Structure 1
Amino acid sequence: MDAPPARTEPVFQARGLTKVYGEGATAVHALRGVDLDIVRGEFVVLLGASGSGKSTLLNILGGLDTATSGTAQWTHAGETHELIGADDAELTRYRREHVGFVFQFYNLIPSLTARENVALVTDLAEDPMKPEDALALVGLGERMNHFVSQLSGGEQQRVAIARAIAKNPQVLLCDEPTGALDCATGVMVLQAIEHVNRELGTTTVVITHNAPIAEMADRVLRLADGRIVETRANTHKVAAAGLSW
């Protein structure tokens, strides 16, 4: 699968991001001066071992955490907004209106059907897609009325993806979305994420420690010890269906 044409419109720009937890001798430096640019529609994989700073960086970009120092901006409809220093109300609005999150564990409500889990988000969004359309996009149109307990792990993760994209977010941030799944099931989940990026043009960032997954990205950023130590573009992307680990 060939890489898409180059894009130039920025979504995220970060400079000198640091994140320190604690103080003194027990302080943990999760990020150490990260510079980052992500453009609209790009599929980026953040690759690295546990403790490399991947999740901290993703949480800052998603407005779930704030940096100790540095700058981070996001751009929407030609307007640039500061993430560092934004107050709680601004970050809440940013997360609600512009960001879709997918985590390793699905965080679904077992007593609700797949469609009802997705509808929880669409009821709050300004311009959502129909829950049925979001579930169809991830290949679960025929399973929408099943309860969570009736779904496999891979299906539950795809419901979580449908829930994340149903509000038509500007960006989709995925933290180890296949971490609790076997290879075959993980590939199905990655195909759903790939489809969302391609069909909706949603800027997508996926965290993984699993190197083969990086082959499906437009660009790969490898982190170690709180720094981006390698950046590479995939001139020939591998479709999710062709991955194995």
Structure 2
Amino acid sequence: MSDSGPSSIPEITLQGQGLTKVYHTGSVDVHALRGVDLELREGELVVLLGPSGSGKSTLLNILGGLDSPSSGEVTFRDMRISADDESTLTRYRRDHVGFVFQFYNLIPSLTARENVSLVTEIANRAMDPAEALALVGLAERLDHFPAQLSGGEQQRVAIARAIAKRPDILLCDEPTGALDSQTGILVLEAIERVNQEMGTTTAVITHNSVIGEMADRVLHFADGHVADYQENSLRKGAHELSW
């Protein structure tokens, strides 16, 4: 992440304040989030670490406008994101947020280029699909179908699809969870390249503590809240990680 001076602090891109989420299952209330406060700053890469069930995915879905909190507020720059304002919520998801999940969700009958084009056709400031695929190292695989690509390549197509609309925020939920370590590093390198070259504010969920070494900040989740937080002044590149 670039730094314009020793005392400069990037502006806040996305903020969550007092976020709670309660799921009602019969007579049981499940508290997925318990009053989370969080800031994502312009151009930084943040890793959210924690075991399964600690609330990470719930938080990411709320920050991305896929779910709404039981209480609390999400603010994107000066825009309040609320389930009560469906048009603002839809515009926020469409224009400002890119998602990458553990499973690639590519359409099998479409090539890599065509899978990415699905997003660029409805985006306001879209990249050329070939440019997005080149950014994640797939310039030579544009016309391959998902069945002709490895798992890591399919995940990189999913990343290209997410960034092709030039989102301000990239939210990644266990993007290497279904991959072996070497393939996972290639995927992380693609995410890091997007963060550095496009300046996209990026949050990555993982349970792998090693990935935290490539982040500007690491948030440790436990029992629905941020249990610990650390700045990472010795940020490594993804290729330097040793799983």
Structure 1 and Structure 2 fold alike (TM over 0.5): yes
- Partner residue in 1 for 2:47: 45
CA distance in structure 2 between the partners assigned to 1:85 and 1:139 by the alignment? 37
* CA shift digits 1:42-61 (9 cap, x unpaired): 10001000000000110010
After TM superposition, the runs of 4+ consecutive aligned structure 1 residues lying more than 3 A away are none
TM-score of the aligned structures, taking structure 1 as reference length: 0.95
Q: Which moved more, 1:22-31 or 1:184-193?
A: 22-31
CA distance in structure 2 between the partners assigned to 1:48 and 1:91 by the alignment? 28
Give the RMSD, CA atoms, in angstroms: 1.2
- State the identity %: 64
- Partner residue in 2 for 1:109: 107
* CA shift digits 1:21-69 (9 cap, x unpaired): 0068511000001111111101000100000000011001000000001
- Superposition pairs of residues 81-92 of structure 1, within 5 angstroms: 81-92=79-90
- Partner residue in 1 for 2:144: 146
* CA shift digits 1:58-95 (9 cap, x unpaired): 001000000001121111xxxx1111344222212111
CA distance in structure 2 between the partners assigned to 1:25 and 1:244 by the alignment? 45
CA distance in structure 2 between the partners assigned to 1:191 and 1:135 by the alignment? 14
Gaps of 5+ in 2: none
- Among 30, 33, 45, the alignment partner of 2:32 is 30
Q: Match of 2:227, SS?
A: strand
- Among 207, 230, 233, the alignment partner of 1:209 is 207
- Partner residue in 1 for 2:237: 239
Code of the residue aligned with 2:171 in structure 1: it is L
- Superposition pairs of residues 170-209 of structure 1, within 5 angstroms: 170-209=168-207
In the alignment of these two chains, the number of paired residues is 239
* CA shift digits 1:81-139 (9 cap, x unpaired): 11134422221211111100000000000111000000000001011000000000000
- Partner residue in 1 for 2:9: 7
- Among 223, 226, 230, the alignment partner of 1:225 is 223
What's the CA shift for 1:13? 1.6
Gaps of 5+ in 1: none
- Partner residue in 2 for 1:68: 70
CA distance in structure 2 between the partners assigned to 1:211 and 1:139 by the alignment? 25
CA distance in structure 2 between the partners assigned to 1:13 and 1:183 by the alignment? 32
Task: Give yes or no for contact 1:104–1:175 (8 Å, CA) kept in 2.
Answer: yes
CA distance in structure 1 between the partners assigned to 2:187 and 2:9 by the alignment? 25
Code of the residue aligned with 1:74 in structure 2: it is F
CA distance in structure 1 between the partners assigned to 2:162 and 2:26 by the alignment? 38
- Partner residue in 2 for 1:130: 128
